[in-house]
Every structure is written in structure tokens, then in C-alpha cells.
Structure 1
């Protein structure tokens, strides 16, 4: 089971959680908040909407909270859970409407799989919102397998720094292993954008 011990009917926009968000706002604390998952998860693993809800509902819950708390800095990992090309317009609307949110690039395979599907749209998005994107990998330092880390960092470097086409993801993508695998199409971002994503944006947010 992908999600265990979630209370029935749990929603992050439940008014009972308002004291938590208000405390963050009052104490000027940023919040790293995970919401939703890849579209592929909802297709392959989350068919029970009574338990998992729909992805759209998951996103709506966070949007409701962001509307109530414009003073909280929200860091939303996994490209705001919306790196899928058809979701980029909604993510753009979030970034336009909520100047207090940033997103990150956590999950190398999710970023590589989805953003590679339309290089032109993905690159334009990263260029436009380069001040609002932080580097992330979704990795924890609790494994001794060096190749595990190398593959995920390498995948993101190919995606952000090169113009390579149809480059095989350097590790298995469980969501596409039965449908041909995942291939990376590099976005060839300029160095000024790479600097922002890799360290400048994070430094501005957390070291000031």
C-alpha cells in the first residue's frame, strides 16, 4: 500500500489545521509541503479515490491553504507535483498568483520523464520562473550505494545542462519499465539559470 494509516477524510485544508498554518505565519517559518504524486501513480496505484482522492482534489486542497496564508513561504517539492506538461499552465498560474511559493526539482525520474516530453514548453517554463525553482533530488543520505546517488544526480545534469536527445535514464523507472523506459531530452539551460536553480535561490531563501 502506498499510503498507510491516513485518517479517513483527511484534508490539509481542514479548518482544524488552521492553528498549525497560523503558527507558521506568526513565526515567519517557511513550510516544505508535499502534495499529490505523479499522474502515473494515480493511474497505476491510486485508483481507489475514496482513499486517495483525485490528484486535482489534492492540488485544490493546497491551493485553498495558500489562499488563506499569503505570508507563509511554501516550498512545494516535485515541481509543485505538476511537472507533467499538461499541468504546467496550472503551475504557472500558482506562481503568478502566489508570490510566496517556490518549487523544487526533487525526484530525478519524475522530472526527467515528464519535462522531456516537450522540451520547448519545459525550457520556456524554467526560463520564465527561474527565480522560483530550487534544486532537489528526493534523496536521503541513508544508503551506502554510491551508484544510487550518482544515477539520480547524473539524470538531472543531463536534463538541465545538456541538449542530448533520447538519453536513457541511468537507473530504472518503475513507472515505465513495462512500457519502454524513460528517456531524457536535455533542456540546455543557460548558466545564469543553472546558478539560480542549483544554489542562488536556495541561498536567498534560507541564508538571509
Structure 2
């Protein structure tokens, strides 16, 4: 997380706490700028596995709560998760965090796979999980006993979807990757260049055994179509973030899906701002705010200076997204620069807070 560091002064803090707006003058044209604290927020996609002493104050500054999204990753040892850490965080700070469980396809060939998964999910829903995440393991990583990549529309998963529908528990679906994963990395300004340089295992261009982008999205769409009563939050704009028209096409076709733009704001900035703004305004009831921000190591391994710098960078990252969504200022995200969307206050309130509250039934 890079960029200009934004420091909160005492005066700004007082103004923000009163939920007021202020006017700025750009030449001869005054404009109204919302204070970032004036709108409640829920970051529906965070991975703060390792606690940070500063996080509570930072979230209060932003008038924000977060959904701790568990991810199940299989390796040679077994399946790694963050569930226990997240559960501890929500017990310690129930006013700050909500829980999202996870599902992976490991052992799908076993006759009791679905039964065991449902038993675990029952326990974790009882413990507070508001949602269940599936991710790109389906389609790109996990294989069944025959060596076939397990797609999200696999019939062996259907009992789990039926269970979640009965409990009215939504699914967060990170299925597939940006289309750039299937393209050569020849442009350092590509919003995903850094990620695939650091995680070549997900750069499908280097792994011809991975199914095609189109195959994975077709399976995803088929799964959605087969489960019209299952509420689905398509993470990362449904892996179609390079073109909001594709996202809009799915939102029109599938009334049970919602989207969130975590880690894909760079793709949005790279598109025509007026077009993206029209997309946000048209689908203002079905877009949730998410970032994919998190912590990757313990704070005891960091110096006080490093923690302070991390806090400032995280604050600046939230500020960049706020600037992009709420103003028409020029903003740079992941190698892309464009003017902000300047969304109306009513739209911002839905995207930042109300849609997540309704989707997860938090009230």
C-alpha cells in the first residue's frame, strides 16, 4: 500500500465527528466535499488475521466495521484457515468485526464430503458466520481424484448450496481471476502485474493445465443459474473488473447476485469515469464496498516505526478509495490514473453501508 500519507488533525477530527460537510473552492467553482466520517461504512472483504493495536482507532476514525473473510487453502500439510483467529477477534471486538466462513473442495470424492462440510458450517454459523466464501481454488487449483479441476457448479456441492439457501446464508464467490491472469505480463502498469509477479502460481498464462477464463466463468454462471434463491456476492466484481459492461450483463441476468470491488479499483480507474459512475448509480442497490486489505504477519515481529508506517499507509489507502468514490479529484490506483466518480451522498451511503447491512441481515 503506497501513496501519500494522510494525517488527521484535531480540527478535521472535530468536524468529521459532527458529520458535517465543507466546501472547497476549485478556481471559481465551489464544490461540496463530504467528510469521510459522515457516512457509516462496512468493509465487506478484509483479512486482518493478525491483530493490530491501531486498528480499532483507525476503524473508528473511518466510522467503519469489517467482515473478516476466511479463506481455505490446501497445501501438503492440510487445509489452512484463519477462522480461529477471526473468531477471537470478533469475540474481543464484537462492535468492530463480523465473520465469514469458507468452503473448499478438498476430499470432494468422499461420500460424506457434503455432510461433513454442512456439519462444520452449522457450527460456524452458530458461532457467528454471516456468509460463506468460496474462492479461486474452484476452477483453478483443487482437483478431484480423477485429476479434474473442480468447478463451482459441480453437482457434488449442491447439498451445501441447498443447506445455505435454507438457512438464508449468502455466499461470497471469488471464482476465477482477472482476465489478465491468462495474458502475458508485459505491462508493468497492468493493475495486476505486481500480484502475478509475486504469485506466479495463479498466473494462468504460465499454467496451460488451468482451465480457460471462459470455462471458469461459464461454470460460475451455470452455478448461479441453478441456484436462483441463493444470495451470492461476487467478489472482485465477479472477475470481470476490466469491463463494467460484463458485470452489468450478469447483474441484469441474475437478480440474486451482488458485487464488490475489492482489489479491483485499479481496473475501475482504468475505464472511462463517466461510464463507471453510471454503472455505480444504476446498480447502487447491488454494490457493496470491499477492499481485500489485511495483515500478513504478527505485530510483535514489527518495530514501532514499521507499525506506524503500516497504519499510515492503510489510512492513505482507504483515503484513496474514498477520494475516488466521493470526489471528482484525480486519483491514481495501481498504475492507473483518472478522475473520481463523485457519487451522490445517497449512493455512497448504500454502497458503503446500507447494502451490506441488508445483504448480511445485520439489523
| Range into which the TM-score falls when normalised by the shorter chain | 0.7 to 0.9
Find 1:193's aligned residue among 314, 338, 347.
347
User: What is the distance in 1 between the residues matched to 2:318 and 2:209?
Assistant: 34
SS of 2:322's partner is helix
- The verdict on how the C-alpha distance between 1:98 and 1:164 changes in structure 2, with shifts beyond 3 A counting, is same
Shift in alpha-carbon separation, 1:132–1:142, aligned structure 2, 3 A: same
Q: Larger % of strand: which?
A: 2
Who is 1:46 aligned against? 204
Aligned counterparts of 2:327 and 2:159: Cα–Cα separation in 1 = 45
Does structure 1 residue 83 correspond to structure 2 residue 83? Answer: no
Secondary structure in structure 2 of the residue aligned to 1:18: helix
Render the CA deviation track for 1:91-144: whole Å, top value 9, x for unaligned. Answer: 21211122211111211xx21333442112111111100000000011125565
Listed one character per residue, the Cα deviations across residues 28-86 of structure 1 (whole Å, up to 9, x for unaligned) are 2111111112222222321156433222222111110111111110011111222212x
Note the aligned Cα RMSD (angstroms). 2.2
Matched with 1:164 is 329
Alignment of 1:93-104 (within 5 A): 93-104=249-260
Contact 2:288 2:355 in 1 (8 A): yes
Q: Which position in structure 2 is the counterpart of 1:136?
A: 290
Alignment of 1:115-126 (within 5 A): 115-126=269-280
SS at match of 1:146: helix
Larger Rg: 2
Distance 1:55 1:185, change over 3 A: farther
15-24 vs 2-11, which moves further: 2-11
Q: Secondary structure at the match of 1:102?
A: strand
Aligned to 2:142: 6
Does the 8 Å CA contact 1:36/1:81 hold for their aligned counterparts?
Answer: yes
SS in 1 for 2:259: strand
CA distance in 2, matches of 1:114, 1:72: 27
Give the Cα–Cα distance (whole angstroms) in 2 for the partners of residues 182 and 115 of structure 1: 6
> So what's the TM-score if we normalise by structure 2?
0.49
Which region of structure 1 is more displaced relative to structure 2, 60-69 or 182-191?
182-191
| Alpha-carbon separation, structure 1, partners of 2:225 and 2:207 | 25
* Structure 2: runs of 5+ lacking an equivalent: 1-135, 186-202, 298-306
1:28 pairs, out of 151, 168, 176, with 168
Aligned partners of 2:270 and 2:336 also within 8 Å: no
Separation in structure 2 between the aligned mates of residue 147 and residue 42 of structure 1, nearest angstrom: 34
Which residue does the alignment assign to 1:177? none
Unaligned runs of 5+ in 1: 174-180
Secondary structure of residue in 2 paired with 1:192: helix
Query: In structure 2, the residue corresponding to 1:75 is in which secondary structure?
Result: strand
Q: The residue matched to 1:64 in structure 2 has which SS?
A: helix
